[in-house]
Structure 1
Amino acid sequence: MSVADAEVDVLIVGGGPVGLTARALLERWGVRVSLVEKHGELSPFPRSRLVNVRSMEIYRGLGLAGEITAGAFAPEYGRIRFRDTLHDRDFATAAMVGINAPIPESPVTGVVSSQDRLEPTLLAAADTETRFGAELVDLTEEADSVVAVLLDRRSGRETRVRARYVLAADGANSTVRQRLGIGTTGPGALAAVTTVVFDADLDGWCADQPAGVYFTAHGSFLPLYPEGGWAWLGPTPEDTERADWSGLVSRALGPDGGVRADVSRVQHWVMNAFVAERFRHGRILLAGDAAHAIPIVGGLGMNTGIADVHNLCWKLAGVLQGWAGPSLLDTYETERQPVAHRTLRQAVANSKLMFEAQSLRHEQLQTGGSAPARVELPWSDRYFAQLGLVLGVAYRSDAVLTDGSTPPEPSDTDPEPSDTGTDYVPTAEAGHRMPHLWLTPDRSTLDAFGEWFTLLTPDPAAWEQQAAAPGVLRIERLPDEHAELCGLSPQGALLVRPDGHIGARWRDRAPSGTALHRALTAIGGSPRSSR
């Protein structure tokens, strides 16, 4: 066994929103964590722009939702608008459902907010060690740990960290994934894109019709912060060294705009579309863009990564703290990889729909004469909302007991899950996210979950004698009016995992006095030393 300079339970590689969220979640569980990020500071670029309703539920659980909302745009910015140029009127528009207004299916509302505004909030949410400017250059898996070699990019000094597990959230070009030789499936690189951050006085064109994104024939324009600032996204020109970025953006604003763009930053990047063939290699687990690169249309990429670590971190904590067995970590890939594939298909479909909307407008303009004021979009608000994909995810794995006692039988003939598109019907079936129901006027069922399993039942007294693991389990009373909605009799119960997904349901009273204990053991796997 090689000598290490430091030892931790989990080494997180990557300091973007996914890695920072994992850091905050693991700290809540009391897990010793160190995060390393090869760049010297948080990213100054806006990048992801949407924190969807499911991510905001996760941040509500971390106590961060209020702060994130306070720094974000008002709900009326939860809309996309199509224009010929930015200073023209809309020829089409669509709401971002779950962003532009509250929805009854959740206690929170998503927000339009730039990634560079989100990340400082996430960084401040935990006190565990974070090293910027530390690049992972080597990994060695040993019998009961992983040794990572880190290069300090300022001093050139190398250090070694021994971790029980490594969580790789180091982006689409993941060093960890490449070192492990894990391949990817999917279209791959879709486009070379440039983001130009600039200031300009555009209030006269947009103040009365706010949006999170303005799609035009000359690129996309995005307001960055409530107090000002813009970004333009367009195809990367061939000669980036000699490009006149201010002139390019000014021309994209429209030939009659007469507005000068004061450019502050430029970033070139590749829009990727793939899913990793594996999410786990021994003690190393991939999350976020390292596991799946999702095209930006629809704002699904970062949010899918946040859901990844929300699924994974309680499992890591259970194995490290001894109340779950190592086999629980196998369910991470089983549960999240199918979600990644469905999300990728949805995002590719979104991209095609966007291009179709612009194509329809182009056809109108080519017909001659005066073009109609409106274009009928090739989708409805209900379709593009994607609530089924965001809130309707259902897991099938050994960590879900379909009848309160056994995991589902695998089947090659199972139909495609219905959690794509926007059809979301709240359900309390095992594997699904527990529906949002108000326990009190200001406390949701979602607020009952965290660093524990939760048993929701109309009759807590009937189940308290089974509470064999008080440090991991809490019992909450489910109001009688919600029991029927959840498919429960007055003595029934739901066992909800720490990530808010239902692990088991007993429609009636427990079949035996050990049913709850056996369910917790089955979901967690047999606790034993994590080999």
Structure 2
Amino acid sequence: MEQQVVIAGGGPVGLWLAAELRLGGVSVTVVEERADIDQRSKALTIHPRTIEILASRGVHKTFLAEGLPIPGGHFGMLDDRLDFRAMETPFPFTLALPQARTEELLEDHALALGATIVRGHSVTGFTEHAKSVTVQVAGLDGPYELQAAFIIGCDGTRSTVRTAAGIDFPGTPSTVLGWLGDVTLDNPPRPGFSTFGLRGGVMVAPLPGGRCRMVGVSPDSLTTEWPGDLTLEELRAKTVAITGEDFGMRDPVWLSRFGNTTRLAAQYRRGRILLAGDAAHQHFPAGGVGMNVGIQDAHNLGWKLAATLHGWAPDHLLDTYHTERHPVGAQLMEHSRAQTALMTGFTPEGIALRSLFSGMIATQPALDKALSERLTALAVSYPAPDPSAHPLTGTRAPDLVFTGSENHLFSRLRPDSHLLLDLTAGVLADRTRPGLAVHTATLDRPPAAWATVRAALIRPDGHVAWAGIDEDDTALSAAVDRALDTTHRTAARY
């Protein structure tokens, strides 16, 4: 059985990657060891940049209809929350939606596009060849092999793919054990409730079906010893110690502890083996960013892998997956560690630091904006290969609105081609290359940074590959051709 790509792991990251590859015309098999979707939803939060990604493929409406919009987020469980409402995005909020439902929607999306998903099977190893990979799989009826051009590990922090590839996963061990419980509360606190003090901190978030998720840390969380599985009685005692009441807590459906082990894969690519999501980065789940960063990994990788397999990508393109996403993983480690420090400040000095920092968020809009854009990944920008490039190069393109129609940029993005945005009334409209679409338009109320742009090349993942402002049509046309020579080529299949 031969596929162009095998993905180990059918969580949100693997499913989104599978859909992106199918939209790019690549055959793909997802191998997932779970027979069914895990109903214990580890992730609840979908961030604005991830909603933008969903919108760029036209699949966001169901998420918006089912998710609960929340116009902000917490940083380190501080009293003052970040305010997302002023951010430059069509979706200035997070969506609260259980991971189980997110996986159902993403699986439906991938299957509708023709992805093969096998459940109850697991990747056990692989053998890499010069132009292919032989993947060993343990199936329900015994072991078998899959042949592929590439294998991608989306198989979590204990990744079989990463281990078999010999990719290092350096970092620091757990020193903190947070706790959570999905329970029914007869007397739930106000929406968005959180509190923190010398005895610990706890947050309460609503779940479908009338349940709530309680997440917290306490002084006894600062341990390297495993204290045993969390019980309802322990959760109740911790909650009462911190808040003075238990909110009528009963009927738990999931009780768990989680640590702050922090690790980052040394390489996101080694030959025909690639990593994404938790297989590439592990961290304390502060701010609800983990699943989002993983989906954003997949969004960066999918089009590059498809372009490589179809032969129009330059030779180095697949290597840019590591050079662009590894620094994002490093930033994830940094802000997760910073939030962990704030969430474990159970001393008078720690409380003072929290109070100072929280007050600055509330009174310094620039700090609020900077942290919000970093937490939500709206600030992610990739380095421009040419230092003299336009400042927009590498940045995330906003959802530009075009005059004369209801079209906007996100509706024009495609995973199988760059978009050449021609703002010259058609001077550049005759450009044709594999992996290129051209749209001639005029911007309606462009953002300040786009006011003088006459043409832009937008990558399939929505980041700007090139932008030009030359007023001379001949010079601009030549600049476009030079840019396309760096992003496209015609060649035999990989």
Shorter-chain TM range is 0.7 to 0.9
Could you say if the C-alpha distance between residues 527 and 355 of structure 1 is closer, same or farther in structure 2, counting changes exceeding 3 Å?
Answer: farther
Give how far 1:524 is off: 3.7
Q: Normalising by structure 2, report the TM-score.
A: 0.85
Q: Does the Cα contact within 8 Å between 1:79 and 1:93 map onto a contact in 2?
A: no
Give how far 1:39 is off: 1.9
Q: Unpaired runs of 5+ in structure 1?
A: 1-5, 84-91, 365-373, 405-426
Aligned mate of 2:214, from 232, 242, 251: 232
Give how far 1:482 is off: 2.7
Aligned mate of 1:504, from 449, 466, 481: 466
1:464 is matched with 429
Structure 2 residue identity aligned to 1:505? A
- Tell me which of the two structures has the higher relative contact order, counting C-alpha pairs closer than 8 angstroms and 6 or more residues apart: 2
Aligned mate of 2:337, from 323, 337, 348: 348
Q: Does the Cα contact within 8 Å between 1:150 and 1:160 map onto a contact in 2?
A: yes
Deviations 1:394-451 (Å, cap 9, x if unpaired)? 2126xx55556xxxxxxxxxxxxxxxxxxxxxx9621111133322585433333223
Could you say if the C-alpha distance between residues 219 and 46 of structure 1 is closer, same or farther in structure 2, counting changes exceeding 3 Å?
Answer: farther
2:127 is matched with 140
Q: Does the Cα contact within 8 Å between 1:197 and 1:263 map onto a contact in 2?
A: yes
Aligned mate of 2:29, from 34, 40, 45: 34
Q: Unpaired runs of 5+ in structure 2?
A: none
- Structure 1: how far apart are the matches of 2:99 and 2:341? 25
- Structure 1: how far apart are the matches of 2:439 and 2:379? 25
Q: Does the Cα contact within 8 Å between 1:324 and 1:528 map onto a contact in 2?
A: no
Give how far 1:458 is off: 2.2
Local SS of the residue matching 2:4: strand
The answer on 1:432 being equivalent to 2:395 is yes
Could you say if the C-alpha distance between residues 529 and 403 of structure 1 is closer, same or farther in structure 2, counting changes exceeding 3 Å?
Answer: farther
Structure 2 residue identity aligned to 1:459? T
Q: Does the Cα contact within 8 Å between 1:288 and 1:302 map onto a contact in 2?
A: yes
Q: Does the Cα contact within 8 Å between 2:400 and 2:446 map onto a contact in 1?
A: yes
1:56 is matched with 51
Could you say if the C-alpha distance between residues 44 and 484 of structure 1 is closer, same or farther in structure 2, counting changes exceeding 3 Å?
Answer: closer
Q: Does the Cα contact within 8 Å between 1:403 and 1:506 map onto a contact in 2?
A: no
Structure 2 residue identity aligned to 1:438? V
Q: Does the Cα contact within 8 Å between 2:76 and 2:286 map onto a contact in 1?
A: no
Aligned residues between the structures: 469
Local SS of the residue matching 2:288: coil
Local SS of the residue matching 2:16: helix
The 10-residue stretch of structure 1 (40-49 or 311-320) with the greater mean CA deviation from structure 2: 40-49
1:95 is matched with 81
Alignment identity in percent? 26
Local SS of the residue matching 1:522: helix
1:322 is matched with 311
2:192 is matched with 211
Could you say if the C-alpha distance between residues 198 and 292 of structure 1 is closer, same or farther in structure 2, counting changes exceeding 3 Å?
Answer: same
Give how far 1:341 is off: 0.9
Give how far 1:109 is off: 3.5
Local SS of the residue matching 1:184: coil
Q: Does the Cα contact within 8 Å between 1:72 and 1:225 map onto a contact in 2?
A: no
- Structure 2: how far apart are the matches of 1:103 and 1:260? 37
- Structure 1: how far apart are the matches of 2:116 and 2:329? 30
The answer on 1:394 being equivalent to 2:381 is yes
Give how far 1:274 is off: 1.7
Could you say if the C-alpha distance between residues 112 and 147 of structure 1 is closer, same or farther in structure 2, counting changes exceeding 3 Å?
Answer: same
The 10-residue stretch of structure 1 (480-489 or 223-232) with the greater mean CA deviation from structure 2: 480-489
- Structure 2: how far apart are the matches of 1:148 and 1:214? 49
Give how far 1:69 is off: 2.3
Deviations 1:452-484 (Å, cap 9, x if unpaired)? 21122321411113x122752222313275386
Aligned mate of 2:171, from 186, 190, 203: 186
Q: Does the Cα contact within 8 Å between 1:107 and 1:444 map onto a contact in 2?
A: no
- Structure 2: how far apart are the matches of 1:142 and 1:471? 28
Structure 2 residue identity aligned to 1:71? E
